[in-house]
Amino acid sequence: MKYAILLLALSSSVFAQTSKENKILFFGQDDRVFIAAPYAQPFSAIGQLETISASTCTATLVAPDLAITAAHCFLMDAKKLDAGRWFKAGFHKGEYQARYQVVAQYFHPRFKKGLVYKGDDVYIQDSAAAYDIAWLKLKLVDGKAPEPLPLFNGKKNQLKALIARAKSRATQAGFAEDHDTELTAHKDCKITRLRPNNTIYHRCDTLAGDSGSPIWLNTSSGPQIIAVQSSAPDWFNRKKADNVGVTVLQLPPKP
């Protein structure tokens, strides 16, 4: 496909799909489950990212002072960078387990050059699709820091083998726009392809607000994040493509 429409970062009724359209986006049925609060590991590391303009995405703590998310969360406006403000780990109905100030965000400069803005929608060109992933530099403000969720740390052939051992089954969890104050997860969702550009096609049920959410494999040594949610086709183009996640192989140098 030439463009993939972003699952918009902003949680707002302006962008809400109808239940019929959501069903199509969910590959025919909604397989998500609610995660009970307070979230246990590994879900406690997942939180809501809030930008200066108050739009929201999902992000995941991967080190005491670092989280990862999608790069497009900061670029929904063609005219300016919408920098991160807060990351709230374990976010649930306005409460949180730990709150972090976002000190900075880092992503590949090639990503911004590959965005196309059409009205309220933002599209990723193929040239930029592989760069929709970002680091967040964090400073703990209050609360009790959760245990970070480990990142996959290997090369592409090792990732391919890990996906095969997991029988192409993964877990995704985020703050989707239809339940944006509660964490929902799609467990045992399917990875359909590891692409040459280090992105994956997958069939995890996601909506706006899930942008940047972690996709991980349950391995013999515990959960490992392999990708973050990036984009999806419009509901009426669902049969043409699966959802897209950007693997951690594409992370820029650690800040």
Annotated active-site positions, please? 72, 211
Q: Residues with Cβ < 8 Å from 74, sequence gap 6 or more?
A: 51, 81, 82, 83, 84, 105, 107, 134
